[in-house]
Amino acid sequence: MSELQLFNTLTRKKEVFVPLEKGKVKMYVCGPTVYNYIHIGNARPAVVFDTLRRHLEHQGYDVNYVSNFTDVDDKLIKAAETLGEDVPIVAERFIQAYHEDVGALNVRKACSHPRVTENMDPIIAFIQTLVDRGFAYESNGDVYFKTRSFEDYGKLSHQSIDELRLGSRIQVGEQKADPLDFVLWKKAKPEEIHWSSPWGEGRPGWHIECSAMIRKYLGDTIDIHAGGQDLAFPHHENEIAQSESLTGEPMAHYWLHNGYIQIDNEKMSKSLGNFVLLHDLVKKYDPQLLRFMLLSVHYRQPINFNEEVMESTRNAMERLKTTYRNLSYRLEQTPDLADEGNWLDKPARALERFTAAMNDDLNTANAITVLFDVARDANTYIEKSSVSAQVITAFLEAMDEMAEVLGLVLREDTLLDEDITTLIEERIAARKSKDFQRADEIRDHLKARGIELEDTPQGTRWKRLTT
């Protein structure tokens, strides 16, 4: 079996994955700032790294998966002021919305979802240690990290300190010693939410929260740190500087970043008016189609979203579901349990190819191609006049296994309700008695209820019409 390889942003190459502890993986994925519903771009890392978690667990790893919520920051404070509500109330509303919206995409909850406001003591202690060791300093109630004190600064984004210096400046109101320095603790403005600290009333900067929570929930060094491409600099770069200055150890062995989402081949932005919220999309589309679309392109590549892409995704998903449905139907009609050796090899070999694709830096696009290859072979097989239940079962199990790793659902919980089942049976009886008028009436009635029938030599098959 092939070894799992992941593209490490730190080294800019694919590397064989070797965990810190055999059989276990410590993984952290940056979560959202909960001041609003998340957009489709935020959904991509949630789906991609949920899929990586699924694959790791499928390979036998015990994965401790942590993803945070930033439940206090400038955007949240502004949103709360606009709504006339307290920050915790706004944050709680959008945390619950996040769980509902990504849950609809079959993203499983993390093992831990730490919140900034629930981890203030370890955050303050982390900052204090950096100050005590000379890596940070207080300035008029703010605390800044001395960026130049960390010699390897820029190693994740592959930029030199001099290159970074050219693009940096001191914002109005900041009193830092060097434009490159970044804030660890922010002095509270009047009437603003705040916590007590050795430097006065205030709240954490954005970067420090992840460093402190990773250390608390996973330890000084973790296996995988992941997030969107936009987080590599400065957020993850600053995390490395803080954490490695404090611990003297690597923060993470593997850094993974997913690519952007474009809307009609343009970068998504509020200024262009193409900002798409997941909360709206899960109402417009089957959430499974959204997950399928997000996995249809390699995670490091940009992905385009528009109506044509979704229509293509809908058709592709329906082909898989139809194959699965027809396999299930044919299995019910097949008492034969004989082993057809050559055919049994096909789903087994496909599973090996699927694992190889997933092991190749989580190449879900190629893995989905393998899933379609299985469906094609399965469709060819069930057209035979004589088939083996053992082979059909092998095809179904292979499709189930692949779909589970991808987080897709091919099996429908309730294929048909009792009324529709009765109508299909009645139609079969009508056809046998040559009452074709009644058979056509039932067909039209079922179609109106979203069920399309197909009469084949192997019997009547059905599929749901998608919207």
415 pLDDT band, cuts 50/70/90, is: very low
The reported pLDDT for the residue numbered 450 is 65
The reported pLDDT for the residue numbered 467 is 44
Amino acid code (one letter) for 449? R
Spell out the residues 6+ positions from residue 4 whose beta carbon is closer than 8 angstroms to its own: 16, 17, 55, 56, 59, 358, 359
DSSP letter for each residue of 85-148: S-HHHHHHHHHHHHHHHHHHTTPPPPSB--BGGG-HHHHHHHHHHHHHTTSEEEETTEEEE-GG
The reported pLDDT for the residue numbered 435 is 84
Mean pLDDT of 71-100: 96
- Number of Cβ atoms within 10 Å of the Cβ of 134: 10
Q: Tell whether domain 307-406 is in CATH 1.20.120.640.
A: yes
76 pLDDT band, cuts 50/70/90, is: very high
Backbone angles phi, psi at 452, to 5 degrees: -105, 130
Span 13-45, pLDDT tens digits? 999 999 999 999 999 999 999 999 999 999 999
DSSP letter for each residue of 21-34: BTTEEEEEE---B-
Q: Both tokens of residue 315? A: 């058709």
Span 261-280, pLDDT tens digits? 999 888 877 667 778 999 99
Span 159-218, pLDDT tens digits? 888 777 654 555 655 688 898 999 999 999 998 999 999 999 999 999 999 999 999 999
The reported pLDDT for the residue numbered 416 is 53
Spell out the residues 6+ positions from residue 381 whose beta carbon is closer than 8 angstroms to its own: 343, 387, 391, 392, 395
Measure the CA–CA gap between 30 and 444, rounded to whole angstroms.
50
The answer for 60, left when phi > 0, alpha when psi is -120 to 50, beta otherwise, is: left
Span 88-100, pLDDT tens digits? 999 999 999 999 9
315 pLDDT band, cuts 50/70/90, is: very high
Radius of gyration of the CA atoms of the chain, in A: 27
| Closest listed residue to residue 224, CA positions, set 377, 66, 380 | 66
Span 328-387, pLDDT tens digits? 988 887 666 566 668 999 999 999 999 999 999 999 999 999 999 999 999 999 988 888
Measure the CA–CA gap between 88 and 132, rounded to whole angstroms.
31
Q: Is the pTM of this model over 0.75?
A: yes
Mean pLDDT of 273-298: 93
Measure the CA–CA gap between 226 and 327, rounded to whole angstroms.
38
Where is pLDDT greater, at 432 or 138?
Answer: 138
Query: 144: burial class by Cβ within 10 Å (0-12, 13-18, 19+)?
Result: buried
On average, the pLDDT of the chain sits at 91
What is the percent of the chain with per-residue pLDDT over 90, rounded to a whole number? 75
Mean pLDDT of 125-153: 97
Span 248-265, pLDDT tens digits? 999 999 999 999 999 988
CATH superfamily membership of 5-295 = HUPs (3.40.50.620)
Spell out the residues 6+ positions from residue 196 whose beta carbon is closer than 8 angstroms to its own: none
